[in-house]
Chains A and B, each alone.
Chain A
Amino acid sequence: MKAFLALLEKELKIVFSSPIAYVFIGLFLTIAGFFFYNIMAWFDRISMQSMAYAQMYRMPPQPINVNMMALRPFFHNLTIIALFLLPGFTMRLFAEEKRQGTLELLETSPITNWQLTLAKFTAAWILWGITLALTGILVGMLFFFGNPEVGQILSGYLGMFLVGGAFIAIGMWFSTLTENQIVAFISALGANLVLLSLGWLSNFAGATLGKIFANIDPIGHFDDFAKGVIDTKHIVFYVSFIFMGIFLSFMSVESARWRGSR
């Protein structure tokens, strides 16, 4: 536990004493803000239309549901941004340690590779949590437009936290496989896109295959959260997915020792 905390603390100190964290958060919020603006502009337009219809047909205006029309698409947008940006953060997790030779310090110190991989994953997940918390500023603005449901907001955030965890776990694994950060980035992004397209292909892939495809796409498990439904089956999926990524990373770091390939 002590070693885990020391590793976690070091990881966070490096992330926050260099531009990495700020660039990541800044970029994420900028893109999120752009999508948010578009969604709200669109939401505004359909609200106006609804108002106009109401006047035309002399009916009371239909309230447009901010939960379904704004919140849910915005949450979906955030997961797609995460799909693209998180590999840019996770690429350095192990590749950087290899490149700068610090893996030689870690791997000759009395710590285990479990402590190491768990600490790295946790640090990245904390950064993701902070980033998500900051998007709360945008979501908070929805309260001026309507009555967003707090329950749905919380379940959406839980879902996004888990989706991000899944992307981090994949990205970390790819980072253990190379000392080249660009390679780690591209392969992790590629893997995320493959998973995403499997979710999409599931609609055409026939019954059995389609079900498998739909089940391994992290974003496919997200929609219930975005709608405000917390289903344990999705939580189990994300937790297993994350554990799998951490396990693969552990195995990769552990077996690199046998090969001496670095």
Chain B
Amino acid sequence: MIRVENLTRYYGNFPAIEDVTFDVDKGEILGFLGPNGAGKSTTMRILTCYMPATSGKATVAGFDVFEQSMEVRKRIGYLPEHPPLYPDLTVDTYLDFVAKIKGVPAQERKKAIDDVIDRVGLQDVRNRTIRKLSKGFKQRVGLAQALVHDPEVLILDEPTVGLDPKQIIEVRELIKSLAGRHTVILSTHILPEVSMTCQRVVIIDKGRVVAEDTPENLSAKVKSTERILVEVEGPQDEVKQKLTSVPGVKNVSLENANGTARFVIDSELDKDIRKDLANTVVSQGWGLLELRPMDVSLEEVFLRLTTKE
């Protein structure tokens, strides 16, 4: 549904994102996770046709965001980092305006607005002026404008920022309920948020994608294991067996073998087994070509993510 290929965007000489590539399937909720300044908003602004990329390509529902911008815009609902509200309008008037500029036909407009007001829970405030609403309600109006034309694709930029814990839970429930009916990209810098709402996560840092997986796999990787890459010259099966027997090793897998064998070793966290691994290989008389921790960048990134709410 959404395809991003080698997307790069410079602000002057500064690359805000570089070579960003990922896909989102129809009906999926993708978490776009990264610390502040990682390039999440930049990516989303390109996907929503707000600004062009410096290079690379992005398509939404098969339409190029640059070449066929109008087709893309018709199919996208977008909640920017700051909800784009007109404080002087009432909720109803505002949603009516948005429905009109998104091209909802006149005879369907009233129903579309009533529906979205029900979906996001704005019944009690629909005739109130937006200026007078609480932050939580404003955020819901922001979500409502993204949803009012029932778009195929939803792009939500940090939708829970600045809300209180109760509101956060409500907004997350709402987003979860969108799966299937809409394809969603949700950006956040809050680690637990993705595992609560998303089926898949793309992690971005300093403008580059550093990992892509399910939330479960990612947290498993980071929370309980450390990955080490070992390249050994020796009989593969035997090496694997020996390495597995080192205390603290949870899993050993053979990565590729062109003459030498590269093993990826998952070990328990808090335990540095690199010395033991090296000793094992050397004492057998095999050649130790390389031994280094993997996914360092990922851990670094996780350290800078917010884990508390």
Contacts and interface: CB of A to CB of B under 8 A. Distances in A.
Contact of A258 (B52, B93, B97): B52
A13 B98 contact: no
Contact of B88 (A17, A257, A258): A17
B101 A107 contact: no
7 contacts: A13-B89, A104-B45, A104-B50, A108-B78, A110-B74, A258-B51, A259-B51
Interface in B76-111: 76, 78, 80, 82-89, 93, 97-98, 100-103
Interface string A1-34: 0110011011001100110000000000000000
B73 interface: yes
A100 B80 contact: no
Interface in B219-248: none
Question: Can you list the 6 inter-chain pairs with the closest CB atoms, starting with the nearest?
Answer: A6-B100, A260-B51, A105-B84, A101-B82, A110-B73, A108-B48
Interface residues of A, number: 26
A133 interface: no
A222 to B, nearest CB: 34
A7 B101 contact: yes
Interface of B: 9, 11, 45, 48-52, 70, 73-74, 76, 78, 80, 82-89, 93, 97-98, 100-103, 129, 145
The SS class assigned to the A binding surface is helix
A109 interface: yes
A100 B52 contact: no
Interface in A49-71: none
Contacts of A18: 88
Given A17-B89, A108-B78, A10 B97 contact: yes
Contact of A105 (B88, B100, B129, B145): B145
A260 B83 contact: no
Contacts of A104: 45, 50, 78, 80, 84
A203 interface: no
Contacts of A101: 80, 82-84
A237 to B, nearest CB: 34
Given A10-B86, A13-B93, A100-B87, A106 B52 contact: no
Given A3-B101, A101-B83, A260-B50, 10 more contacts: A13-B88, A14-B86, A14-B89, A17-B89, A100-B84, A105-B84, A109-B73, A110-B74, A258-B52, A259-B51
